[in-house]
Structure 1
């Protein structure tokens, strides 16, 4: 089970890196084309918009699995006490439910966008698959949140010695 989780994590990391590289390359080419040749890349805004969504939603399950979401540590001293375990479980369950609802809403929106043929402004790129990818990302994040509730954050063993050095 843990091996499968690591394989999913590696594939999500690889996808995010590829999307980010594509976005950087496209932006660079667009700026060079616009400034030097006076010819911007047609539809680069549409492609960048889609790539940005892909990068953000690839990062969501990674951040969730690592337990690295922004949090306020104002009450950590109180909440970390053993008698407050119910609160930690309750808040984790709430995160799982919220991410699950967001995934379900993205599925509904993706299916609706496919049904009505929703497309991007310039290049007419279909939006349905993008929304379904976002739904998959939120569902993976919900599973990751559920996993860290029982097993703790999914930290790469190779990275632990770096944290100890700090």
Structure 2
């Protein structure tokens, strides 16, 4: 199961990396264009949409590697079992947050579809719902990774964050 989870995390990260490449190219073209008096029309739309892909694409890898903010002031004073319980609970809370985010965004898209509303970006008129669905998929991947990490910690005591990716 961990092998498949790592593959999904790798896919999510690859999508995020592609978002980063698009982001860099758009910003580079826009900055050069501004210097020449011809900024890239719609760059704000493109940057906003690819930022969704960039941030949520990398989120699963961030959790896999233990990159989220952690306050560990008292960790050395707690027994190992309590630290493990705290890690399990924090992984479950994180999964709930990401599932909640995915649910909220998908609800907006479903309402738009139900009422025939087509959300578009300000300048280029790009459909926003595709990016919302991408956010939902990437948030679900992150939540599933967090659930698996909580399960591994609870059942085997294995902390995937302390192993190489």
Q: TM-score range by the shorter chain?
A: 0.7 to 0.9
Change (3 A) 1:47 1:156: farther
Alignment correspondent of 2:5? 5
CA contact (8 A) 1:113 1:127 kept: no
**Per-residue CA distance 1:18-63 (angstroms, 9 max, x = gap):** 2111111111111111212x11111111001111111011011111
Q: Is the CA contact 1:23–1:48 (under 8 Å) kept in the aligned structure 2?
A: yes
State the distance in 2 between where 1:83 and 1:8 align.
30
2:160 to 147, 153, 166: 153
Aligned positions of 1:27-42 closer than 5 A = 27-36=27-36, 38-42=37-41
Paired residues in the alignment total 157
Q: TM-score, normalised by structure 2?
A: 0.82
Is the 1:67–1:148 Cα contact (8 Å) retained in structure 2? no
Q: Residue 52 and residue 70 in structure 1: after superposition, are their counterparts in 2 closer, same or farther (change >3 A)? A: same
Matching residue of 1:116: 117
RCO comparison, higher one (Cα < 8 Å, 6+): 2
Structure-2 change in CA distance of 1:49 and 1:82 (3 Å): same
Match for residue 94 of structure 2? Answer: 95
* Alignment RMSD (CA, Å): 2.2
Contact 1:60-1:141 within 8 A present in 2 as well: yes
Deviations 1:93-131 (A, max 9, x none): 222222211111111122234441111100111111211
Q: Which runs of 5+ in 2 are unaligned?
A: 153-158
